[in-house]
Structure 1
Amino acid sequence: MHVVLAGGGTAGHIEPALALADALRRENPDVGITALGTSKGLETKLVPARGYELALIPAVPLPRKPTPELMTVPGRLRGTIREAAAVLERTNAACLVGFGGYVALPGYLAAKRAGVPIVVHEANARPGLANKIGARYTRHVAVSTPDSKLRNARYIGIPLRRAIATLDRAAEREKARAAFGLDPGRPTLLVFGGSQGARRLNETLAATAERLLASGVQVLHAAGPNNELTITPPPGAPPYVVLPYLERMDLAYAAADMVLCRAGAMTCAELSAVGLPAAYVPLPIGNGEQRLNAQPVVKAGGGLLVDDADLTPDWIADHVLPVLTDPQRLYAMGRAAAEFGRRDADEALVRMVHEAVAAAHA
């Protein structure tokens, strides 16, 4: 069997696709995997690094909503659809699995014309245009939130990297804290704002550092590779460790008791899966999807939610510190997050692939 994955552009599309690829290979080491991508996306680095074939097709940006620009898409898509179809034919694809992004729509259209079974996975609470269209062509639609309005939606969560999906935080905590130079016994706040950091989070934490440290809380803070942040704890105070980037998110999660972060779909899924309570600060731009991503786990009791404009040192002191310094609240919120989270989405999506292939041959 050969499976073609269509989900290039951003890590939010690529990582779930690669997690599915890994799960397919665990089940059957001989399965063929090809990822569709463009020359401008992160897939040019991430896909080959994981050992999978990457087939490049032209990028056709899609409007987020139906607009007059949408009328020009079919003409711009024709060549891209032909190239996607050529990949399906060359690989004798048994199934195409789309994750959204620039390459998903031509992948869906090419697969529909060729009679190749389609599976759709939508990571965000608010689906993109490509997946809305793809969901019309298949009954096999996987989503990351239980209240998704996407057609034929089946809630499975987001396929995660194996290091995250199988993480035992308690077992790894001591080793993880030692790796970052943290105290093994202090309550620990992890702060990050995505791969590039988040200025708002950095500035607020810098202004709150003194109060956090005075309360006995230590901090592991990924400030971003291009952001300067220097925090020097006074003698005898807990550590405040600032890094430009976290190479091992599994170790960071194991070291932490609570997280302050944005609310990307992958972030919400990973923190829920490993049972980490978080204070989510959705990006104040875009279509509001980050707030929607965080709302289900917050509603389940596994996190807090605050608007970007309301994130202040006082808010952290009034809402985050009381959780970090109360082991019972930390435990309760972590358990609620874990009960909401899904660690087996990769295996559930593998089953959907087999269902789609079997249905096509029934």
Structure 2
Amino acid sequence: MKNKNANKRKILSIHFKHKQTKYILILLFILLVLAITFLIINLNKKQENASVNKPAEVKVEKKEEKLPPQKIYSSLLGMELKNKEELQKPVLGVMIENSVPARPQSGLKDAEVVFEAVAEGGITRFLALYQHNTSNLIGPVRSLRSYYLDWVGSYNASIAHVGGSYDALIRARDGHHRDMDQFFNDSTFWRSRDRYAPHNVYTTTNNLHQLAQKYNWNSSNFQGFSHRDDNKEIQKDAKQVNITISGYLYNSSYNYNQECNCYLRNQAGSPHLDREKGQISPKVLIAMKINNGRASDGYHTNYQTIGSGEAIVFQEGKAMAVEWHKDSENSPLYFKKDGKNFEFISGQKWIVAIGNYDGNMSWQ
């Protein structure tokens, strides 16, 4: 009996121990779960705190640098234009007389480029070019010479004139030129009553543009001059320029004027005046040395305009040696220095053809 009770107590003791172990394991499991849960909660809180405390990312928008709009300058005068389309505005060329009865002329001061050469007998004649400038009175308009067509061709320009030498008219009327001969376009020109013929034919840029539109000459495509800003501080070495082109009545001189940064033109010992606008004062004077002689008729002058040669540019009171180049009638007239296009200041350009036959120049 005692052994049975002892065994029974022993069994109960073992059962109690097993049950105790089971509860301990369950408790440990619960504690482990709680610990893991606690760790997860703390980890999440740390991440949230880190996210809250982390400085916000600043998004920097990259702004594209806007360059100032590129300025556009006209090819002849160097004046600022509103858009590129204006570069192709048609160029008008007009032959203007320079005999003594034709003085003072009208419209020369408005011209953007003026070519000066001898027509015949030492008498000079001007080719005035207008693209963006306008003039309400241009003249007296006179006859054409063949070499002026080569200069006109450089600018894809029309040419207004009253007849011309035989060789000039043969070329001008070949169907490949923008010929504005007064003989066939009488309504574009008129004769004034305050001068006698043939020194009294006049026109306007408005009349010429209307005639150009009639023939559908609505644009001019050409390579013009290179330009730069003025530099009045440049060293002066050509404040007075003297040009011998034929004789006293047609020789000219130019006095540099600091105020306008231009050259005041004199002719036959007196200021050369535009009748409506005062003394002619180009910003740039170009003296081109060109071979010249008599034309085939033995009377008119001829110039070798195609090729190359020496030239002197006078601007800002300084003389600079350059080279002129022209390959054909319709190719550009280039002026180069050290192999690069010479840069002119903006303003009227007066180009004088100084022939080796009868021309000369000096400056100081």
Coarse TM-score class (shorter-chain normalised): under 0.3
Greater relative contact order structure (CA < 8 Å, 6+ sep): 2
Structure having the larger proportion of residues in helix: 1
- Give the alignment's TM-score, normalised by structure 1: 0.24
Structure having the larger proportion of residues in strand: 2
Structure with larger Rg:
2
